Amino acid sequence: MVTARQPHTRLKDEGLSDEIPQEARIVRTADLRFPGWLPWRLRAWITRWLLLVDEHIGWLFFSTRAALQCIQQESIQAIYSSSAPYTDHLVGYRLKQHTKLPWIADFRDPWVGNFSTNFPTRLHQHMAEKMEGDVLRVADRVLVVSEPMRQAMLSRHPQVPEAKVTVLPNGYDPEDFSALQPEMVQAMGEVERCLIVYSGSFYGQRQTAQKFLQALKRTLEGPTISRERLRVRFVGNAGKQTLEQIQSYSLQDVCQATGYLPHRESLLHLMAADILLLIIGRGPGSEPPAPGGAGDGHRRRDRRARPGGAAVGPGRCVRVPPRRRRAVQHLPLRQRGEPARI
pLDDT at 339: 34
Cβ(86)–Cβ(119) under 8 Å? no
pLDDT at 7: 65
Rounded to two decimals, what is the model's pTM?
Answer: 0.73
Cβ(275)–Cβ(248) under 8 Å? no
Last residue of a domain, one of 167, 185, 214: 167
Same domain, 32 and 134: yes
Same domain, 178 and 284: yes
Split into its structural domains, the chain has a count of 2
pLDDT at 167: 93
Find the CATH number of the domain harbouring 241.
Answer: 3.40.50.2000
Q: How far apart are CA 102 and CA 164, in angstroms?
A: 13
**Ranges 174-183, 235-244, 317-326, most confident:** 235-244
Structural domain for 295, as ranges: 174-341
pLDDT per residue as tens digits for the range 218-241: 989 888 888 888 899 999 888 888
Vertex 51: Cα angle to 50 and 55 (nearest 5): 135
Coil/strand/helix, residue 58 = helix
Residue 108 has pLDDT above 70, yes or no: yes
Mean pLDDT of the chain: 79
Same domain, 191 and 330: yes
Cβ(272)–Cβ(189) under 8 Å? yes
Q: How far apart are CA 52 and CA 303, in angstroms?
A: 44
Same domain, 258 and 212: yes
Task: Please name the amino acid found at residue 118.
Answer: N
Same domain, 252 and 182: yes
φ, ψ at 80 (rounded to 5°): -130, 125
Same domain, 147 and 182: no
Find the CATH number of the domain harbouring 16.
Answer: 3.40.50
DSSP assignment of 264-275, as one string? HHHHHHHHH-SE
Same domain, 94 and 121: yes
φ, ψ at 207 (rounded to 5°): -140, 100
Same domain, 82 and 190: no
Last residue of a domain, one of 167, 188, 217: 167
Half-sphere exposure of 41 (CA within 13 A, CB side): 0
Same domain, 280 and 137: no
Last residue of a domain, one of 123, 139, 167: 167
Same domain, 210 and 149: no
Q: How far apart are CA 105 and CA 135, in angstroms?
A: 8
Same domain, 115 and 260: no
pLDDT at 116: 67
Mean pLDDT of 251-263: 89
Same domain, 6 and 132: yes
Mean pLDDT of 201-229: 84
